[in-house]
């Protein structure tokens, strides 16, 4: 798959970037014209340009000089430290794409450097971040510096241009939005299987009930679940058969009947973030050119000194809460799976739980899910709200972006593990229920259950879910 640059950002684009055969191409003539115009402007310019001023040899006011000396020291420290912090390679790939995509149009980058960046992307070279054990407002640019280490014969101009081009913060937002939407799709499958294992009440997912609130996400999720759980508006034979055991219960617990409202709210939040990504130019360069419309030559360089990640931080905080809630409602259903009295299938469940000495092992999984959701609650603390100055004399507001990367990594890993535990336990309970009743669930879910039954542990179930769910 060839992706022609430049591209507008979208979730579909993220999917294409992450495909194993994705390569990028761009118009080299356009890049060279921008470079020539940039060099001409630099040669003729007599004004101070923050970010390019050291190379231009301009005299700067003392406060600016002091700030630049501090930044230079930090960048030097950044380059000298060991590359010890592993960054998810999918995130690295998106970060590199964002960097290149933002450099294509009027950045002043040289064609030679951009060709090398393209080769790095197309050859799938692994990238690593420098250590984060020091305070720097350039963490967002640190992946750019890691990329710079792979480029040969890079000029001073290109070094500054790449450093001043934001990529990691926006790439983190893109990557986690894509993953969050995928987890919604996973939740549809795991919820449906869990519903069958607990003999849920299908009317909670009908449009008649869910249209009352006129909550778009709720209606979409309810319809998706209803379609998975019924054929021609009929429940599975297993579910109907078990109704005599549960005495045709009128409604389920909140963790089952309120799934459309909770996951629907998460879906709406993710769609809001997707809209923000697609409708706004987030994650662009820290500078821009004024270009004469007639001559196409650069007339000025405008540097945005407000280099702050608040937009990305806020949106990632929203994502963190949405993904955590998907795990939270799933964890509550897992507790029901382990408590026969709550499901009213006591005879069936107790026989299952005693079988093959599984009680301790499966209860341990339920405890693990509970522990993971407690951790997620802690990780949901908003990074965007942490705007306390960290040092004297310097503007260090919201420069701990690495916290957003790490917290989303923890929350997403924990949530998919919770979904995997739900799927693992539900599939095995359904197998026992079907053997006891001589009745089956619908074939579209049975195909999923049969695949999960072949998997030995929840870690492998999580890996299977990642492969099974496609956007």
Does 272 lie in the same domain as 236? Answer: yes
| Residue 283 located in a structural domain | no
pLDDT interval class at 59 (50, 70, 90)? very low
Query: Does 97 have pLDDT greater than 90?
Result: yes
Q: Give the CA radius of gyration of the chain.
A: 27
Q: How many domains does the chain have?
A: 2
Give the pLDDT confidence score for residue 362 in this predicted structure: 81
CB 267 within 8 A of CB 187: no
Q: Which residue, 303, 312, 220, 306, is CA-closest to 259?
A: 220
Does 402 lie in the same domain as 262? Answer: yes
pLDDT interval class at 161 (50, 70, 90)? confident
- CATH code at 413? 1.20.200.10
Exposure letters 411-436 (e unless 16+ CB within 10 A, then b) = bbebbbbbbbbbbbbbbbbbbbbbeb
Does 257 lie in the same domain as 158? Answer: no
Q: Is 117 helix (H, G, I), strand (E, B) or coil?
A: helix
Length of the chain: 471
The mean-pLDDT minimum among 206-215, 224-233, 372-381 falls in 206-215
- CATH code at 9? 1.10.275.10
Degrees, nearest 5: CA angle 324-386-281: 75
Query: Does 172 have pLDDT greater than 50?
Result: yes
Average of per-residue pLDDT values in the chain: 82
The CA distances from residue 255 to 194, 259, 332, in Å, are 11, 6, 6
pLDDT interval class at 95 (50, 70, 90)? confident
Give the pLDDT confidence score for residue 140 in this predicted structure: 56
The mean-pLDDT minimum among 125-134, 190-199, 271-280 falls in 125-134
Does 392 lie in the same domain as 254? Answer: yes
Q: Average pLDDT of 99-111?
A: 90
Rounded CA-CA distance 373/35 in Å is: 51
The mean-pLDDT minimum among 243-252, 310-319, 421-430, 462-471 falls in 243-252
Give the pLDDT confidence score for residue 397 in this predicted structure: 53
Q: Which of 130, 165, 200 is the last residue of a domain?
A: 165
| Residue 353 located in a structural domain | yes
Does 13 lie in the same domain as 107? Answer: yes
The greatest distance separating any two alpha carbons of the chain, rounded to the nearest whole angstrom, comes to 87
The CA distances from residue 276 to 282, 283, 312, 405, 457, in Å, are 8, 12, 10, 19, 38
Give the pLDDT confidence score for residue 342 in this predicted structure: 77
Give me the sign of the Cα torsion angle 455, 456, 457, 463: negative
Does 32 lie in the same domain as 59? Answer: yes
Q: What share of the chain is helix, strand, coil (3-state, %, to 5)?
A: 65, 5, 30
Number of H helices, E strands in the chain: 21, 4
* More confident position, 252 or 328: 328
**What is the extent of the structural domain holding 420?**
174-277+309-468
Helix 346-354 with 402-437: angle, nearest 10 deg: 110
Give the pLDDT confidence score for residue 423 in this predicted structure: 97
Query: Does 211 have pLDDT greater than 90?
Result: no
Exposure letters 441-466 (e unless 16+ CB within 10 A, then b) = bbeebbebbeebeebeebeebbebbe
| Residue 244 located in a structural domain | yes
Give the pLDDT confidence score for residue 329 in this predicted structure: 96
Rounded CA-CA distance 337/75 in Å is: 53
CB 267 within 8 A of CB 217: yes
| Residue 161 located in a structural domain | yes
Give the pLDDT confidence score for residue 50 in this predicted structure: 46
Rounded CA-CA distance 436/242 in Å is: 10
Give the pLDDT confidence score for residue 315 in this predicted structure: 93
Burial (Cβ within 10 Å: 0-12, 13-18, ≥19) of residue 111: middle
Does 183 lie in the same domain as 161? Answer: no
Does 425 lie in the same domain as 333? Answer: yes
Digit-coded pLDDT (tens) for 322-363: 999 999 999 999 998 888 777 778 777 776 666 555 555 688
| Residue 300 located in a structural domain | no
What is the model's pTM? 0.86
Does 265 lie in the same domain as 159? Answer: no
Give the pLDDT confidence score for residue 145 in this predicted structure: 67
Give the pLDDT confidence score for residue 62 in this predicted structure: 45
pLDDT interval class at 177 (50, 70, 90)? very high
| Residue 296 located in a structural domain | no
Query: Does 452 have pLDDT greater than 70?
Result: yes
Give the pLDDT confidence score for residue 82 in this predicted structure: 46
pLDDT interval class at 83 (50, 70, 90)? very low
Give the pLDDT confidence score for residue 352 in this predicted structure: 65
Give me the sign of the Cα torsion angle 183, 177, 222, 325: positive
Helix ranges, 280-383 (H): 310-337, 340-343, 346-354, 358-379
Strand partners, 303: 287
Q: Average pLDDT of 64-70?
A: 46
Give the pLDDT confidence score for residue 327 in this predicted structure: 97
Query: Does 255 have pLDDT greater than 70?
Result: yes
| Residue 298 located in a structural domain | no
8-state DSSP, 130: P
| Residue 21 located in a structural domain | yes
Q: Which of 165, 186, 205 is the last residue of a domain?
A: 165
Does 188 lie in the same domain as 153? Answer: no
Does 217 lie in the same domain as 121? Answer: no
Helix ranges, 87-167 (H): 89-104, 111-122, 139-148, 156-163
Does 179 lie in the same domain as 154? Answer: no
Question: HSE on the CB side for 382, CA within 13 Å?
Answer: 14
Give the pLDDT confidence score for residue 226 in this predicted structure: 96
* More confident position, 399 or 467: 467
Query: Does 168 have pLDDT greater than 90?
Result: no
Exposure letters 128-138 (e unless 16+ CB within 10 A, then b) = ebbebeeebbb
* More confident position, 251 or 107: 107
Q: Which of 110, 144, 165 is the last residue of a domain?
A: 165
Give the pLDDT confidence score for residue 455 in this predicted structure: 96
């Amino acid at each position: 798959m060839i992706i022609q640059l430049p591209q507008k950002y979208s979730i579909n684009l993220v999917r294409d970037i992450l495909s194993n055969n994705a390569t990028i191409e761009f118009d080299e003539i356009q890049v060279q014209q921008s470079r020539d115009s940039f060099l001409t402007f630099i040669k003729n310019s007599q004004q101070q340009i923050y970010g390019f001023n050291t190379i231009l040899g301009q005299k700067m006011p003392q406060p600016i000089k002091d700030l630049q000396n501090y930044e230079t020291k930090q960048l030097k420290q950044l380059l000298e430290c060991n590359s010890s912090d592993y960054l998810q390679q999918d995130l690295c790939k998106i970060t590199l794409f964002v960097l290149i995509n933002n450099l294509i149009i009027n950045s002043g980058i040289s064609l030679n450097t951009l060709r090398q960046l393209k080769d790095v992307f197309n050859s799938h070279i692994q990238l690593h971040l420098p250590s984060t054990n020091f305070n720097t407002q350039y963490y967002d640019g640190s992946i750019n510096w890691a990329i710079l280490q792979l480029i040969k014969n890079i000029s001073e101009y290109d070094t500054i241009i790449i450093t001043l081009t934001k990529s990691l913060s926006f790439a983190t937002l893109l990557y986690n939005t894509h993953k969050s939407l995928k987890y919604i799709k996973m939740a549809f499958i795991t919820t449906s299987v869990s519903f069958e294992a607990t003999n849920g009440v299908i009317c909670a997912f009908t449009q008649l009930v869910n249209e009352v609130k006129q909550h778009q996400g709720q209606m979409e999720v309810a319809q998706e679940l209803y379609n998975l759980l019924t054929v021609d508006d009929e429940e599975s034979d297993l579910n109907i058969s078990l109704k005599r055991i549960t005495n045709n219960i009128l409604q389920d617990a909140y963790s089952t009947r309120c799934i459309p409202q909770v996951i629907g709210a998460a879906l709406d939040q993710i769609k809001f973030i997707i809209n923000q990504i697609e409708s706004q130019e987030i994650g662009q360069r820290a500078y821009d050119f004024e270009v004469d419309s007639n001559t196409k030559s650069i007339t000025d360089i405008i540097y945005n000194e407000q280099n702050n990640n608040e937009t990305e931080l806020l949106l990632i905080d929203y994502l963190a809460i949405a993904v955590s809630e998907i795990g939270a409602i799933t964890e509550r259903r897992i507790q029901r799976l382990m408590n026969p009295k709550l499901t009213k299938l006591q005879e069936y469940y107790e026989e299952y739980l005693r079988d093959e000495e599984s009680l301790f092992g499966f209860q341990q999984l339920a405890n693990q899910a509970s522990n993971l959701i407690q951790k997620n609650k802690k990780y949901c603390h908003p990074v965007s709200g942490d705007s306390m100055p960290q040092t004297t004399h310097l503007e260090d507001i919201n420069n701990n972006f690495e916290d957003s990367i790490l917290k989303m990594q923890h929350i997403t890993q924990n949530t998919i593990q919770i979904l995997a535990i739900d799927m693992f336990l539900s599939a095995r309970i359904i197998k026992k229920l079907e053997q006891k009743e001589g009745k089956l669930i619908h074939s579209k879910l049975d195909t999923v259950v049969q695949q999960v039954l072949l998997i030995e542990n929840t870690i492998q179930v999580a890996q299977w879910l990642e492969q099974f769910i496609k956007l």
